[in-house]
Structure 1
């Protein structure tokens, strides 16, 4: 028996794979941002309990926001009628714009010297861990995908 293969346009993947791509992208971003925060923590003369607590608060705030966003993207991806979608459809346009603004603003802020090393340490560690957690959540959604 000859197995027929479904024709699909170039750069199109199964819609479930979009969750895998999102998970990898968010996890890589999270690790890189958290790494910058940890490096900044390493440059501090001392680290106190309040610094760690503030990193946890940043993690919780952004983690909640990213969790809601992950659920929204999962619903959007799961709701696609077509089985194969362009690889870049793991995000919608609004998310790409937000990502570009956050990356540009973060790079500018870090290089501007307007914020202290402690701010970079606290904020980037919390934000990076929240991004990474969202990436892991996307990977869980990918693993448990049901048609």
Structure 2
């Protein structure tokens, strides 16, 4: 066993699902908080924008985040190592997309080309989609034994 293998922070595959749940859950909480603040501070008709965010989250999750989550779940299940690296709940492309989205969110908040009310509505839909993805990872972690037998 080489030095890299000895120093690698490896954990059981099932643990990767819970780490992904925690990361996606934390990010969804942060994005939802910003979205709620942007909506509540900029209109008294907040319920319309909250409802729009909730309704938009469903196709956003189904057509974007569910595919990404499923890709990561399959990759984790098919990993050769039984103790993959702690950070391998995402692949390199996933980390790149996450960095891009964070940068885009910071820029959108700073430049304010789009009114905060609409950014808040988008953040509600994005945050809920991420929350649904976190639940998807959590369920996959709970069902890991069954899923690993069926693969």
TM-score bucket of the superposed structures, by smaller chain: 0.7 to 0.9
- CA distance in 2 between partners of 1:25 and 1:48 (Å): 28
Gaps of 5+ in 1: 1-6
Normalized per residue, which structure has more strand?
1
> Displacement, 1:42?
1.1
Pairing of 1:1-147 with structure 2 (within 5 A): 9-47=7-45, 50-64=48-62, 65-146=64-145, 147=148
- CA distance in 2 between partners of 1:11 and 1:81 (Å): 16
Per-residue Cα deviation, 1:91-141 (whole angstroms, up to 9, x for no partner)? 011111100000000111111121102112210111111111111110111
Runs of 4+ in 1 over 4 A off after TM superposition: none
- CA distance in 2 between partners of 1:130 and 1:45 (Å): 23
CA 1:51–1:119 in 2, change beyond 3 Å: closer, same or farther?
Answer: same
- Aligned CA RMSD, in angstroms, stands at 1.7
Normalized per residue, which structure has more helix?
2
Gaps of 5+ in 2: none
- CA distance in 1 between partners of 2:143 and 2:44 (Å): 43
Q: Is the 8 A contact 1:59 1:127 kept in 2?
A: yes
What is the total number of aligned residue pairs between the two structures? Answer: 141
- CA distance in 1 between partners of 2:94 and 2:43 (Å): 37
Is the deviation greater in 7-16 or in 127-136? 7-16
